[in-house]
């Protein structure tokens, strides 16, 4: 109990909650930009243009076939080298900006497959009926296909968001002060890593379980509206 009282001070709790907030911000931004990339990637993979379809496939294969940690380090360590080569200037990248870019690109590759599979899972009769009504492709996607796809995409997208919250801990490798880094800093200050790491685990669990709870309620509501 004495050890806990040392760590559970208002300043330490506030410091860890600030780190937790940054983890959520990274996850939200990465999911947003990753979804945009996922839509573009899915459109590319379903394109009739062979070159565009190939680009979509290469993007997915490269990103899904390499570790996220490698991708983060590539952008953080390799980005300044490429920038200097192109523009002749040196700059120090912001860890959070680099992290959001790298995680967004990674999330986009997985979102590509989620969106593509959800769209292609819609019954062919829906496509044929839409064409019979004289709807254009854009109208068909907007009014018929995408609304039905959304319900199928929602559960895996929520799982992806939870994964991104946990994956934000990888940014500790490039110095971003998110939840895991906060725990490591407190551990170094007090020469005791067990308590702050346990505290971080509890915060991660609270965040992910809360999201899962509200996600389940939303899924039930959507199911009832069918």
pLDDT, tens digit only, all 226 positions of the chain: 556 666 678 888 898 899 999 999 999 999 999 999 998 999 899 888 999 999 999 999 999 999 999 999 999 999 888 888 888 888 888 999 999 999 999 999 999 998 888 888 777 777 777 777 777 767 777 777 777 777 778 888 888 999 999 999 999 999 888 999 999 998 888 888 888 899 899 999 999 999 988 888 877 776 666 5
Angle formed at CA 88 by CA 84 and CA 92, multiple of 5 degrees: 45
Burial of 210 (0-12, 13-18, 19+ CB in 10 A): exposed
DSSP designation for 1: -
- Cβ 106 vs Cβ 71: under 8 Å: yes
Identify the sign of the CA torsion 100, 19, 205, 223. Answer: negative
pLDDT value for 190: 82
- Are 116 and 67 contacting, i.e. CB atoms less than 8 angstroms apart? no
Q: What is the pLDDT of residue 135?
A: 74
pLDDT at 223: 67
Q: Which residues contact 163 (CB under 8 A, 6 or more apart)?
A: none
pLDDT of residue 171: 94
Token pair 């983890």 is found at 23
- Determine the pLDDT at residue 83: 85
Q: Which two tokens stand for residue 77?
A: 């360590």
CA pair distance 89, 15, nearest whole angstrom:
35
Domain 2-224 sits in CATH 3.40.50.720: no
Task: Please choose, from the candidates 55, 82, 68, the residue with its C-alpha nearest in 3D space to the C-alpha of residue 172.
Answer: 68
What is the structure's pLDDT at 96? Answer: 93
User: How far lies 116's CA from each of 15, 35, 41, 57, in Å?
Assistant: 41, 12, 8, 12
How far apart (Å, rounded) are the C-alpha atoms in residues 151 and 2?
A: 49
């Amino acid at each position: 109990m004495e050890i806990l009282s040392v760590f559970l001070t208002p300043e330490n709790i506030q410091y860890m909650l600030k780190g937790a907030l940054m983890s959520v911000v990274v996850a939200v931004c990465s999911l947003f930009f990753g979804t945009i990339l996922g839509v573009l990637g899915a459109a590319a993979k379903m394109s009739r243009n062979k070159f565009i379809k190939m680009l979509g496939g290469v993007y997915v294969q490269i990103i899904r076939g390499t570790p996220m940690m490698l991708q983060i380090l590539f952008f953080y360590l390799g980005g300044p080298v490429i920038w200097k080569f192109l523009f002749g200037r040196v700059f120090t990248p912001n860890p959070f900006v680099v992290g959001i870019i790298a995680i967004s690109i990674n999330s986009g590759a997985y979102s590509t497959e989620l969106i593509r599979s959800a769209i292609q899972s819609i019954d062919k009769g829906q496509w044929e009926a839409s064409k019979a009504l004289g709807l254009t492709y854009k109208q068909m996607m907007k009014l018929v296909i995408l609304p039905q796809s959304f319900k199928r995409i929602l559960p895996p997208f929520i799982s992806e968001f939870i994964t991104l919250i946990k994956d934000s801990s990888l940014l500790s490798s490039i110095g971003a002060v998110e939840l895991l880094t906060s725990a490591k800093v407190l551990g170094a200050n007090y020469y005791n890593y067990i308590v702050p790491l346990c505290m971080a685990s509890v915060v991660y669990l609270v965040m992910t379980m809360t999201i899962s709870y509200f996600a389940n309620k939303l899924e039930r509501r959507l199911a009832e509206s069918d």
